[in-house]
Amino acid sequence: MSQQAKFSEPTLQSFRGIFVIFLADLVKRIRQNIAILAIPLLSGKARDYLHYFILGVIVLVIIQFVFSYISYKRYKFHVGQEAFFVTSGIFNVSQIEIPFERIQNINLQQNLIQQVLNVVGLEIETAGNDKAEVTIKALDKGDAEHLQELLTEQKIALNQELETTVEVTDENSNTSASAKQSASKQLLFKLSFLDLLKVGISSNFFKGIGVILAFLSYIYNSFGDLVSNKFDIDLETQIQAYLPSLLSVIIGVVFMVIVIGVILTVALTIIQYFELKLFAVDQNYMVQYGLLKRVNKLIKAKKTQIFEIETNPLRQFFKFSNVYISQASSEELNTKNKIGVVGVSKHHINLLFEALFGINDYQSINFNSIKTQWLRFRVLSLRLAVLFIALILFQLYVIQLHSAFIVVGLVLLLAFLVVLVYLSTKKSYVAISETMIKVGGGSIHTNTAFIELFKIQSVAVKQNFYQRRVGMCNLILYTASGFLKINYLNHQEAIQMANEILFKVESNTSEWM
């Protein structure tokens, strides 16, 4: 039986889907009712209620399994001539019809439960929805890939049929035949575990340090309250009294926090991008990655809105960069939702760039740059001066410690911040070519974003009170995946740039989707 014939009739999920639905819903119910379930255990007569508690949990599990089984049996889907159909519901049966032309993305993914049960989830995103309209929780991997391929082929065939209605018959027949061919899937790039470690080591470990500092802050506050209540001791006063003798301990703690922060960042990177693979699928690309949640996303040229390249000195030493792609979506994308292809060489970046934009070397594009360094330096220097004065006043009137270590620490902090201001100023620019706009930024990290001009939906020039006084503004470019903000532009130059962008957008006849 062909895959099209198999999915032409109402189809159930994999039988293991019962357990996926059951475990996912059980976890949800426990979270919703954790307070009620904990009442018997927290009461003074917990031992008397324990058997009722266990009995209640058993009844909850049995009821949940029955509901999960019914939900599994009632959830059916099939592929029609012009749409994808889903029927679901236990008490209220709903029927969803998704025309092929409304399908935007078909993503495969695996969370930890799905990986253990060896099934794959399939999500269908449509125009006009900020989340997946259809989620099939459990399919055999082969069935999921074939369903994804079948829906993609149906959408392509429909689009090509509409595009070729005015063409001659022989061209139309050739196009239809090519549309129905199976998508060729070719592995282009696989990130090895060693390269993944390099990606983790070169990542922004301040995020990991932030998590640790937040945890230590919580422990410190809790411990301080406990000591104050039990022993009537002011912990902050005691720390200030013994601070000079504790400096070596503090330095050791800071070092440990940095080390643990780096380890945590590397671990999170490995979990997120484990076994990253990049495939060429006809005119598009497919990326797969993830350990606890296996992500499978298709990168389409027409849907690509913003193409970002991120690097830093360590990545330059390792000779790779990270690429983040924002595709058209009904919700504004954040960094977490962007499609990440990490640890890629310049060669593979050029392959991606050529496939998405038709340019074989992104560094060969002739851009006219507009410098933003002076205005950026002016603003950042003012902020740095205010911050450093505030730190000095805090040291003199709040901490009130006159130690050489404190002075050295402030000097080192000032030097570090000055370097950041210098790097941020040096790396900031905006440039326009005939077809694209490029925006550079960053301090330690270097970020370069590319947008095709015809995909810009609107342009806004914004000023606050201070910016109006000094003739400065921010330029905001809105796309179907969100916006890109360009700070610290000269107001007159920004107006000219906005007019130029709008003119090129209006005069371009290319379709942005």
- pLDDT digit string, tens, across residues 238-274: 555 555 555 566 667 777 777 777 788 888 889 989 9
**What's the confidence (pLDDT) of residue 277?**
92
**Residues forming beta bridges with residue 498, ordered by sequence position:** none
**What's the confidence (pLDDT) of residue 437?**
93
- Flag whether pLDDT at 167 surpasses 60: no
Q: Tens digit of pLDDT for each residue in 190-212?
A: 999 999 999 988 887 666 556 66
Mean pLDDT, all residues of the chain: 79
Cβ–Cβ < 8 Å for 476, 483 = yes
pTM of the model: 0.73
Sheet containing strand 120-126, strands side by side: 134-139, 120-126, 103-110, 294-299, 284-289, 277-281, 185-190
At how many degrees (to 10) do helices 193-201 and 247-273 cross?
A: 140
CA distance 76 to 136: 9
Q: Where are the domains of the chain?
A: 3-183, 300-372+428-507, 373-425
Q: Do domains 3-183 and 300-372+428-507 have the same CATH topology?
A: yes
Give which of 273, 318, 266 is closest to 297, Cα–Cα: 273
**What's the confidence (pLDDT) of residue 329?**
72
CA distance 316 to 443: 14
Cβ–Cβ < 8 Å for 122, 107 = yes
Give which of 244, 252, 255 is closest to 399, Cα–Cα: 244
Residues 6+ apart with CB under 8 A from 462: 473, 474, 476
- Flag whether pLDDT at 460 surpasses 90: yes
CATH architecture of residue range(s) 3-183: Roll (2.30)
**Does the CA dihedral 171-177-181-183 come out positive or negative?**
positive
- Flag whether pLDDT at 181 surpasses 50: no
CATH topology of domain 300-372+428-507: PH-domain like (2.30.29)
Q: Measuring CA to CA, how many Å separate 208 from each of 120, 205, 336?
A: 30, 5, 15
